[in-house]
Homo-oligomer: A and B are copies of this chain.
Amino acid sequence: MGATIRDIQKLTGLSLATISKYLNGGNVLPENRAAIGRAIEELHYEVNEVARGLKTRQTRIVGVLLHDLKNIFAGTIISRMEDILRQHGYGMFLCDCRGNPELEGEEIQFLLGKQVDGIITFPTSENSGYLKLARERGIPIVLIDRMFDDQEFDSVIVDNETASKLAVEKLLAYGHRRIGMICGDEHYYTARKRLYGFCRAMEVTGAEACIAKGELTVGHGYEAMKKMLDMKERPTAVFLSNYEITLGAVIAMNEQNVSFPKEISVIGFDNMMLAQVVKPKLWMITQPMEQIAVRAAEIMMERLKNGSSREPQVEILQTMLSEGESIGRIV
């Protein structure tokens, strides 16, 4: 359907080599340059990137594999990454494995089949096995949101432990001594880290902890919050350690007509919009999504340009605690 370089050849009488040189910015005589330009215009010619990819062995496509596209977290990051990749002439191939480790392995294979030049992934699996094929292929890989024990990959992560510490310290400062945490099960990397940070921060103080582990879902946040509210010696404050959980917990409080911070204090996670829309405004731990995206994309571009010369690089970004009105002072 589309015109090829051969059509340009016919129209201009020049050789394929010369036309290719033109397309790739080489030196071509002004008159020939003009002739080719005209032909391209006339034919609506456009480089067939598939053919080019076959020959050059690079597709200028980066594969992005994540575990939940519905997450705001994901959307924001993807959007920013796409922006940066495109600025460098790269496109983005997107896969969503929906938190399914088996699918995750298949998707990697799929991406490799498509000959992507690099892979940015939000891992689901507990170990890096699923990346084996990709690593053997020698293409750059960047991990987001979690890393593996074998620190063999470039990674951009957030300091989840300190995030919990931030929350705990704030609550302690307000005088709370019985503090709840609703969090994900330990087999989720981020949940584990946040839990660990919470425990460590609590340990040194004499404060009493109350932990509700479960899925990273609205449902778990909802149920766990309801249970905490029903306890006879219930916590005076609760740390809601991810977005979905925060959402669920707020819904539970609304339903039970629990007013905060009067009856209970809370700190939420991840989403400023949610913080503002709830009344009174929630204290909120937020992740630097923008920066995560930028760093991941930049590291990828750098590897793509300079190869895997340097050692794997783990970049740890800090979360922020932003002020709200959902913590009450205990006297």
A residues sitting closer than 8 Å to B (CB atoms) are 1-2, 44, 46-51, 53-54, 59, 61, 68-72, 74-76, 78-79, 82-83, 86, 91-96, 98, 109-110, 112-115, 133, 136-138, 218, 247, 250-251, 254, 273-274, 276-281
Q: From residue A200, how far is it (CB to closest CB) to chain B in Å?
A: 31
Residues of B within 8 Å of A61, CB to CB, are 93, 114
Is A2's CB under 8 angstroms from B74's CB? Answer: no
Q: From residue A84, how far is it (CB to closest CB) to chain B in Å?
A: 12
Is B69's CB under 8 angstroms from A82's CB? Answer: yes
Is A50's CB under 8 angstroms from B54's CB? Answer: yes
Is B109's CB under 8 angstroms from A94's CB? Answer: no
Nearest CB in chain B to that of A107: its residue: B86
Q: From residue A39, how far is it (CB to closest CB) to chain B in Å?
A: 17
Point out the residue from B48, B74, B250, B276 that lies within 8 Å of A113, measured CB to CB.
B48
In the assembled complex, the Cα of A251 lies from the Cα of B281 at a distance in Å of 9
Point out the residue from B46, B96, B115 that lies within 8 Å of A79, measured CB to CB.
B96
Q: From residue A213, how far is it (CB to closest CB) to chain B in Å?
A: 23
Is B75's CB under 8 angstroms from A72's CB? Answer: yes
Is B96's CB under 8 angstroms from A94's CB? Answer: no
Residues of B within 8 Å of A281, CB to CB, are 254
Is B279's CB under 8 angstroms from A254's CB? Answer: yes
Q: From residue A129, how far is it (CB to closest CB) to chain B in Å?
A: 14
Is A109's CB under 8 angstroms from B279's CB? Answer: no
Q: From residue A37, how far is it (CB to closest CB) to chain B in Å?
A: 16
Most buried by B among A93, A95, A277: A277
Asked whether A91 and B114 contact (CB < 8 A) given A96-B79, A137-B2, A138-B1, the answer is: yes
Residues of B within 8 Å of A75, CB to CB, are 69-72, 74-75
19 pairs of residues in contact across A and B, judged by CB atoms under 8 Å: A1-B138, A46-B112, A49-B113, A49-B115, A50-B53, A50-B59, A50-B114, A51-B54, A78-B94, A82-B95, A91-B114, A92-B93, A92-B95, A93-B93, A218-B273, A247-B276, A254-B279, A278-B278, A278-B279
